Amino acid sequence: MYMLLRGQPAHTSVAIYSLHTTWGPRGRYTVFHLSLYTRQRQRTQRSLTKKPAPTHPHPLTHRSLLWSNNIRGQNSLERRSYLLRSLWAARVSVAFLQETHFQGLTGPMLRDQRFPLGFFANHKEAKRAVVAILFANHTPFTCTEEKADTLGRYLFLKGTIVDRQYTFASIYAPKTKQHNFISKTLRLLEQFREGILIGAGDLNLLIDPRVDTSKGRSSLPLSCLKATQAALRDAGLVDSWRVLHPDDRYFTYYSLVHHGYSCLDYILIAQEYLSLLQTSAILPVTWSDHSPMLTLLTSPPHKPKG
């Protein structure tokens, strides 16, 4: 739905990209989330090379802010622009995305001057699981190897930031036989990994049902949960948020089918690098149906050159 906005140029529009109904002191009311954008009359005049890339006044040179979210589709120009603005405002260094819904090699570009480097595991069919990893311009990542799932469910990157070796993984598990997928994917990741390992994504199951769901139990058989927990132990990966909040009950997703809250989204870090973990948070749900996850890591001391 679009409409002209009084007092703005004729080529400025307002898009209603989400709404919800809630209750207040005076009864029920509807909240509209609006966003302004200006449609360029000549898109050929827009060139990223003509403007210097924006920089933060105080970039995160000795720490990295990791962000992960199931974004439920980014084929809308307005949603992509809002996503990149939100990541930049939060000073995110590395963003792990799930369900971008980009189709094959023809998918839209999810990059700009602030996040010039992006990697994608696309699928030939639209509206299928597609994952991505974006890097901010203040994070000098150099990719040396990439491994992408043909179905778009995982993406592994290996490379360096300054002089440190990192492995990043964005994962989106299916809604059935999650434990089989996670076990297989983590075995592939173990063969691929090198250096500091960080994985993030929507696993579509509970690692610890006791605290990861409002009901205190899982709909999956206990054998599936134990298989997933064993796969994580074998890979040496731990839930960064749960390490800092062992007994807290906060959730990333509400299921209308099961009528309950669950924590399905995780940022995982190799256990030997837990000393780098500073803080972790679950943010409120905004334009997606999943809450974003944030984790702050300090960077290890750089090796002296020469």
In terms of DSSP H, where are the helices of the chain?
Answer: 77-89, 178-192, 209-212, 222-235, 240-244
- Tokens at residue 199, please? 């994985």
Run of H or E including 255:
strand 253-255
* Greatest C-alpha distance within the chain: 69
Residue 269, beta-bridge partner list: 198, 238
Rounded alpha-carbon distances, angstroms, from residue 255 to 19, 260, 261: 19, 6, 6
Is 290 annotated to bind a ligand? Reply is yes
Ligand-binding annotation for 202, yes or no, is yes
Instruction: Rounding to the nearest 10 degrees, give the CA dihedral for residues 104, 110, 115, 121.
Output: -20
Decide if 187 contacts 236 (C-beta within 8 A). Answer: no
Residue numbers in the known binding site for Mg(2+) are: 202, 204, 289-290
Residue numbers in the known binding site are: 202, 204, 289-290
